[in-house]
Structure 1
Amino acid sequence: MPELLFSIVIPTYNRASTLGDTLRSLQGQTYPHFEVLVVDDGSTDASAQVVAPFLTDARFRYLPKQNEERAIARNWGIAQAKGRFITFLDSDDGYYPRCLQEAVNFLQQRPKAVFFHLGYEIKDTAGRLLYRSLHKGEQLNEQLLSGNFLSCIGVFCRREILEQDRFNESPALIGSEDYELWLRLAAKYPLYYHPAIGAYMLQHAQRSVLRIDKSRFGARMEALLELVSTEPAIQQAFQQKGVQRFRLHTYLYWSLHLAMGGYKREALRKLIWALKKEPGLVASRKFLGIAKTLIRS
């Protein structure tokens, strides 16, 4: 597929310390037909200087804008993209050399796929492996109701479907805008999984998902629950049972992050609510993880 062009959209904000490594991981791709759109969401650090040397490669584009958060930045990148497929990468993560080639290999097997996911790893700053995505089955639509295992890394979408369904730009949803979009897309298209490990996520102390403000996080969870529970396409595709499954696992996720933030009482309330609705969750890995976090906090 020599004509297959990938658009890699990288929203960034004050990540000069990691952005260079991210961009170098793209320079090292064995598959050459791609473009990189660095959407600088109002950085005040040296991000522009970090990007500058890469712009000698015509495949790299720098798109500075005012600060408006990730959903708007990603949507702006979508609007500028020229590739048949768009994928997203955060500016503190990276690709292994064969990432895009693995995407091509998958599309040669599934040429009609419009929404698919490659495997990824999570590493710490010392390079130690913390997690490797391993999923059962080739299609993951139903599994997505139990949590956002996709994050944004390794997800590939045909440009046309992202032009129809973009990231929700509601300020209340910041941090979950990717999950809400993946659920909308999963209600309309098969979500395929290719187990090849194409990318890595870097776990570090400044990563935004590791910090929590109780009130803002609660508003975000409420916004996510409202949007997903009332989306007609999701209701039609997954029915009430699927929406309830999503709600239960969202409460478990809410409970875990409250526990991690030291809000033990509030975390316990969310956990009890979920268990009342579905007692069988007590045997799940998520419940055990929350219980351990509560005991340690």
Structure 2
Amino acid sequence: MIKVSVVMPTYNRADLVGRAVESVLNQTFHDFELIVVDDGSSDSTRDVLNKYNEDKRFRYIFQENQGQSVARNKAIELASGMYLAFLDSDNYWPLDRLEKSVPCIESLGMDYALVYGDGYSVDLDEKIIGSSDRKGHPDSCLYDLLLNNFVGMNAVLVRTEQVKALGAFDETMRSGEDYDLWLRVAIEHKFKFIPEKLCYYLVEGDRVSNNFEGVMANNERSIERVFQHMDSPINERKKRNIWSRFFNRKGRYFSQNRQKTSAMRCYLRALSYTPLSFNVWRSILALVK
């Protein structure tokens, strides 16, 4: 059985997908397959990818455009690896990414479903312009995860059986679908942090993840779904803190974009959950200055 199935959706990324593919095929860890699902590209993506067909670890699938959740789920359906790793076609991995991830998850018990690491942000010239530095989250991390998504999609290694048991990604979501899946996994399983930079994330204007309002709408759905789960361990006090943090963060986004009415509406919603929150009152004072 193959150890790792690498899942890569792509759409009109002919200029970048080759870099992503080669960062996988050149890994120092060799026991993997790479499944690329082309979500209906109309550029030369197919031509770029055809040159990798001779590599037995590489598999290319074309589908009509249905969104990245459907594309990822198609690859997961075909996956034969014990573990799943994800790489978007505009990002790329350091060459020891899998070598650092696989031994970690294999050292853990089955109560651990997922390991994750940090990453660098890069520009189009591959210059590092930022990084994530996650620390301090417990292995039983559902509450922390409900407060904020700290698990980067492209720095994850997760047990295939757990993902398939949960139905994989929600195909009705065009953004925020990774957070939704991590929450569902975290209800019953632990996560382990790897203190390493495991991905390079490209920062540019047309990324799906830049659709903040769509992401937040789907995040709200995902959080509510956890609260409705019969086995959710989240009590009422924690729920109020989670919603307050959520609407305060949403309000700050509107404030930064000079949408003061929408921002105030979010801040008041946050206060309805935690009337004495210093952070929310600070956001309101910053808005009315």
TM-score with structure 1 length normalisation? 0.84
| Alignment partners' CA distance in 2, 1:209 and 1:81 | 25
Instruction: Verify the 8 A CA contact 2:227 2:234 in the aligned structure 1.
Output: no
- Evaluate the alpha carbon distance shift between residue 28 and residue 279 of structure 1 in structure 2; reply closer, same or farther with a 3 A threshold: farther
| Alignment partners' CA distance in 1, 2:94 and 2:60 | 22
| Alignment partners' CA distance in 2, 1:35 and 1:136 | 33
Question: Any idea what SS the aligned residue of 1:194 has?
Answer: strand
Deviation at 1:109, TM superposition (A): 3.3
| Alignment partners' CA distance in 1, 2:147 and 2:198 | 23
Cα deviation 1:92-129 (Å, max 9, x = unaligned): 11110110000123135325432221222222334133
Q: Which residue of 2 aligns with 1:237?
A: 233
| Alignment partners' CA distance in 1, 2:82 and 2:258 | 44
1:101-120 to structure 2, matched below 5 A, reads 101-110=99-108, 112=110, 113-120=112-119
Alignment identity in percent? 27
- Evaluate the alpha carbon distance shift between residue 218 and residue 33 of structure 1 in structure 2; reply closer, same or farther with a 3 A threshold: closer
Instruction: Verify the 8 A CA contact 1:188 1:237 in the aligned structure 2.
Output: no
Question: Any idea what SS the aligned residue of 1:149 has?
Answer: coil
1:203 pairs with 2:203: yes
Deviation at 1:59, TM superposition (A): 0.7
Number of equivalent positions:
284
Gaps spanning 5+ residues in structure 1: where? none
Q: Which residue of 1 aligns with 2:46?
A: 48
1:258 pairs with 2:254: yes
Deviation at 1:27, TM superposition (A): 2.2
Q: Which residue of 1 aligns with 2:149?
A: 148
Range with bigger deviation, 62-71 or 247-256: 247-256
Q: Which residue of 1 aligns with 2:135?
A: 135
The residue type equivalent to 2:136 in the other structure is K
| Alignment partners' CA distance in 2, 1:58 and 1:231 | 42
- Evaluate the alpha carbon distance shift between residue 194 and residue 151 of structure 1 in structure 2; reply closer, same or farther with a 3 A threshold: closer
The residue type equivalent to 2:269 in the other structure is W
| Alignment partners' CA distance in 2, 1:223 and 1:180 | 8
Between Structure 1 and Structure 2, the one with more helix by share is 1
| Alignment partners' CA distance in 1, 2:285 and 2:54 | 52
Deviation at 1:83, TM superposition (A): 0.5
Q: Which residue of 2 aligns with 1:271?
A: 267
The residue type equivalent to 2:153 in the other structure is C
Q: Which residue of 1 aligns with 2:91?
A: 93
Deviation at 1:279, TM superposition (A): 5.1
Gaps spanning 5+ residues in structure 2: where? none
Q: Which residue of 1 aligns with 2:123?
A: 124
1:167 pairs with 2:169: yes
1:194 pairs with 2:194: yes
Cα deviation 1:6-55 (Å, max 9, x = unaligned): 11101111122221111121122111111111111111111111211122
TM-score with structure 2 length normalisation? 0.87
Cα RMSD (Å) of the superposition? Answer: 2.7
Alignment partner of 1:39 out of 37, 40, 49: 37
| Alignment partners' CA distance in 1, 2:159 and 2:215 | 31
- Evaluate the alpha carbon distance shift between residue 218 and residue 163 of structure 1 in structure 2; reply closer, same or farther with a 3 A threshold: closer
| Alignment partners' CA distance in 2, 1:266 and 1:227 | 24
Question: Any idea what SS the aligned residue of 2:185 has?
Answer: helix
- Evaluate the alpha carbon distance shift between residue 279 and residue 18 of structure 1 in structure 2; reply closer, same or farther with a 3 A threshold: farther
- Evaluate the alpha carbon distance shift between residue 259 and residue 142 of structure 1 in structure 2; reply closer, same or farther with a 3 A threshold: same
Q: Which residue of 2 aligns with 1:82?
A: 80
Cα deviation 1:153-175 (Å, max 9, x = unaligned): 212211111111111122xx321
List, as ranges, runs of 4+ consecutive aligned residues in structure 1 with deviation greater than 4 Å: 216-219
| Alignment partners' CA distance in 2, 1:174 and 1:36 | 23
Question: Any idea what SS the aligned residue of 1:114 has?
Answer: strand
The residue type equivalent to 2:113 in the other structure is V
Q: Which residue of 1 aligns with 2:185?
A: 185
Deviation at 1:218, TM superposition (A): 6.7
Deviation at 1:281, TM superposition (A): 4.8
